[in-house]
Amino acid sequence: MATAFFRIAPRGWFSFHWGRVKIVILDAYTANPGDLDWDELASLGQLQTYDRTPADLVIKRATDAEIVLTNKTVLSAETIGRLAKLRYIGVLATGYNVVDLGAAETHGIPVTNIPAYSTPAVAQMVFAHVLHLTQHVASHAENVRNGDWANCPDFCFWNEPLTELSDRTFGIIGLGQIGREVADIARAFGMRVIAYNHRPPLDLPNGIEMVGLDEIFAESDILSLHCPLTDANHHLVNAERLEQMKPSALLINTARGPLVDTVALAKALNDSEIAGAGLDVMETEPPPADHPLYTAPNCHITPHIGWATQAARRRLIGTAVENVKAFLEGHPQNVVNADQLA
């Protein structure tokens, strides 16, 4: 049986015997509610999966595991410090803020993520929201179901303004893989595409104009967020920025909830400072039942599903397996704390 040896301070020398290493998934249900399988991962070791793990059971469930995978279950500094056998943390997502990277560094534990798996799915969700806000398909279909068309004296009717995308300005904040795919789709609709990135891209795709933050908020007819969440851009979209936007503008957020001050957004929608918003992420998930955006006009919220097509989740699981294999072979990949461990 193959054995991999590593030296990761300060927990010292250790070895992995393929097939014997214990692997625990703390919250397997979201990535795989039963329409996929974990067979490839199970072939690498002794796999234990939990649909969900409350905070008070994390240590108990992971205590004997060398490898722990998590999606949204938090691995705090205290938890990492108490898991003496832990040698690897795999995040089943692109964002990895649920793991205390400093604590992982202290214990010499690599933390990996799953980059780029959801790009087509999230870009599709962006335009699901855009088209919903500009064509009002659901509302018109409901009118038809309620008999409004049957009782109409004309051959057609509409109850909301219908907006053509061609020649409108589509603004993108964050020109990573998803931002670039969204730009391609916007250009296919005949839109002018402007973008802001925290650092100038080395290779600017054709047809994208780089602008400053003030310009992108002021000029966009549709503004879509695609940047990671950092301390610097928390509440990037706030009351001041919303005042800069056109009264006819639409805001789309499929990136990270805390990029938007949702209380300020609710006020802006109620005061008609902007025309509408499509959100797939919120500051707190799930949001409280009395959240002010629930009653804000022309605000449509989906429950963080932009990433969740079966095809995207299959890619996620495949990359998770490859990440674990690479670690067991002694050359971890997609390590998000590589600089800290160097």
pLDDT surpasses 70 at 6 = no
For residues 268-273, average pLDDT? 98
Token pair 């699901």: residue: 128
Q: Answer yes or no: do 222 and 284 share one domain.
A: yes
Catalytic (active-site) positions = 256, 285, 304
Residues 82 and 163 grouped into a single domain:
no
What is the reported pTM?
A: 0.89
How many distinct structural domains can be found in the chain? 2
Same domain, 63 and 199: no
Distances (CA, A) of 268 to 89, 290, 292: 41, 18, 11
163 and 253 co-located in one domain: yes
User: What is the domain extent for residue 315?
Assistant: 3-117+310-341
pLDDT score recorded for residue 178: 96
Identify the pLDDT of residue 16.
59
8 pLDDT band (50/70/90 cuts)? very low
| Whether residue 253 has pLDDT greater than 80 | yes
Return the percentage of the chain with pLDDT > 70, whole number. 94
* pLDDT surpasses 60 at 270: yes
Nearest alpha carbon to residue 191 among 219, 168, 215: 168
What's the pLDDT tens digit per position in 86-127?
999 999 999 898 999 999 999 999 999 999 999 999 999 999
pLDDT digit string, tens, across residues 136-151: 999 999 999 999 999 9
The residue type at 69: L
Give per-residue burial for 107-142: e unless 16+ CB within 10 Å, then b. Answer: bbbbbbbbeebbbbbbbbbbbbbbebbbbbeeebee
* Structural contact between residues 128 and 32, judged by C-beta atoms closer than 8 angstroms: no
Q: What is the dihedral of CA 328, 332, 337, 342, to 10 degrees?
A: 100
Same domain, 84 and 214: no
Say whether both 206 and 237 belong to one domain: yes
Q: Are residues 285 and 136 in the same domain?
A: yes
What pLDDT, on a 0 to 100 scale, did the predictor assign at position 206? Answer: 85
* Chain mean pLDDT for the chain: 93
CATH of the domain at 185: 3.40.50.720
Same domain, 288 and 319: no
Asked if 180 and 327 sit in the same domain, the reply is no
